[in-house]
């Protein structure tokens, strides 16, 4: 009988098999998201690493080769103001990293966005 992988193990396997010119940057962003809050969990959704706490929050779009693309798709994202959050969609925002320098420069801001989403969900759950 095959061994069933945990969600985190599935993400590890995905990242191991990933062929992307910005794979190191994607892994760095992954680690920032996971370290932002102990409440954040990861899994594969829409054939890419995705992060959630109570509800889905953000997912990688691994198709573009010129940047690391995050899709913040929880409706609370529109209440968060950040230079990292692009687009004027009614229920989502995009974030892009073009190189490791940008990932490192914007790590604190990305972590803050994740924590604000967690705080919004905690407040809504009360």
Q: Is the pLDDT reported for residue 125 higher than 90?
A: no
According to the 3-state scheme, what is the secondary structure of 32-90?
Answer: HHHHHCCCCEEEEECCEEEEEECEEEEEEECCCCCCEEEEECCHHHHHCCCCCCECCCC
Q: Is the pLDDT reported for residue 126 higher than 80?
A: no
Q: Domains plus CATH for the chain? A: 7-125 (3.90.1150.200)
pLDDT of residue 3: 80
Determine contact, residues 94/85, Cβ cutoff 8 Å. Answer: yes
Nearest-CA neighbor of 121 among 38, 34, 54, 28?
54
- The answer to whether the Cα torsion of 64, 59, 116, 107 is positive or negative is negative
pLDDT digits (tens, 9 = 90+) for 71-124: 999 999 999 999 999 998 999 999 999 999 999 999 999 999 999 999 999 998
pTM: 0.93
With cut-offs at 50, 70 and 90, classify the pLDDT of residue 1.
low
As a whole number of angstroms, the distance between CA 24 and CA 20 comes to: 9
pLDDT digits (tens, 9 = 90+) for 38-79: 999 999 999 999 999 999 999 999 888 899 999 999 999 999
């Amino acid at each position: 009988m095959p061994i069933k992988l945990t969600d985190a193990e599935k993400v590890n396997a995905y990242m191991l098999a990933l062929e992307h010119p910005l794979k190191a940057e994607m892994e760095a962003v992954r680690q920032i998201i996971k370290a932002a809050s102990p409440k954040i969990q990861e899994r594969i959704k829409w054939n890419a690493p995705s992060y959630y706490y109570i509800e889905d929050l953000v997912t990688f779009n691994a198709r573009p080769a010129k940047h690391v693309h995050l899709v913040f798709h929880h409706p609370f994202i529109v209440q968060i103001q950040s230079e990292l959050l692009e687009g004027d969609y009614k229920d989502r925002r995009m974030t892009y990293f073009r190189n490791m320098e940008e990932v490192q420069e914007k790590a604190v801001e990305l972590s803050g966005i994740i924590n604000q989403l967690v705080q919004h969900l905690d407040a809504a759950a009360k």
